[in-house]
Amino acid sequence: GQQVMQIPQYQHVQEGEDFTTYCNSSTTLSNIQWYKQRPGGHPVFLIQLVKSGEVKKQKRLTFQFGEAKKNSSLHITATQTTDVGTYFCAGMIYNQGGKLIFGQGTELSVKP
Amino acid sequence: DAEITQSPRHKITETGRQVTLACHQTWNHNNMFWYRQDLGHGLRLIHYSYGVQDTNKGEVSDGYSVSRSNTEDLPLTLESAASSQTSVYFCASSRIRDRDIQYFGAGTRLSVL
């Protein structure tokens, strides 16, 4: 069954507000990837985190990997309408045969 | 430019028919994957391949098969389509050294009536 849980499922924000999505695994992850899927589009790779406690930034996006490598977060500062879409985390769990396990995604809508 | 293409983009079929979805990539990636996407389930792995003649079952492989006869292609076959297989199907590929950084095709929307 699903071992990577992502919350919230939906988030509606006013443009300019911040947004955070959280990803939690029941087992230790070797790494975690974040993808963005625009409405009607396909998932697009954003970033990979590998090290315990790692923090990476891409402009207004901040990605964190937990110290225990069981959780991760994506924070967007001052959302824009271009941020609309579904954000997925995907973790590598070695006892799953080295396959990526995707979270259910968080759908972000931004009201101008 | 290198790319990954899926065909057809939309398909309507009847229950019990055999259906094949094509996936072709020009990046020379060794790894290829098939996922299905349904509301509330995110992306679920169907089958994957780490090279020519290599295929492996994913989380939801029942009713699906794949074959890998060359590096570029990984067709997905639904042996006898069922209504439960109505979904959006994504193909993805990745390099050997960055297996988890996957590049996705545009997807195929399949309806089984």
Arithmetic mean of pLDDT over chain B:
95
- Cβ contact B104–A44 (<8 Å): yes
pLDDT in single tens digits along all 112 residues of chain A: 558 999 999 999 999 999 999 999 988 999 999 999 999 999 999 999 999 999 999 999 999 999 999 999 999 999 999 999 999 999 987 666 667 899 999 999 999 9
State how far residue A17 is from chain B, nearest Cα, in angstroms: 25
**CA–CA dist B53, A85 (Å, integer):** 36
What are the pLDDT digits (tens) for B42-87? 899 999 999 999 999 998 999 999 999 999 999 999 999 999 999 9
- Cβ contact B106–A42 (<8 Å): yes
Nearest neighbour of B104 by CB, restricted to A42, A48, A97:
A42
β-bridge pairing B10-13 and B108-112: parallel
State how far residue B49 is from chain A, nearest Cα, in angstroms: 11
Contacts of B63 (CB under 8 A, 6+ apart): B78, B79, B80, B82, B85
Nearest one of A76, A74, A75, A109 to A90, comparing CA atoms: A74
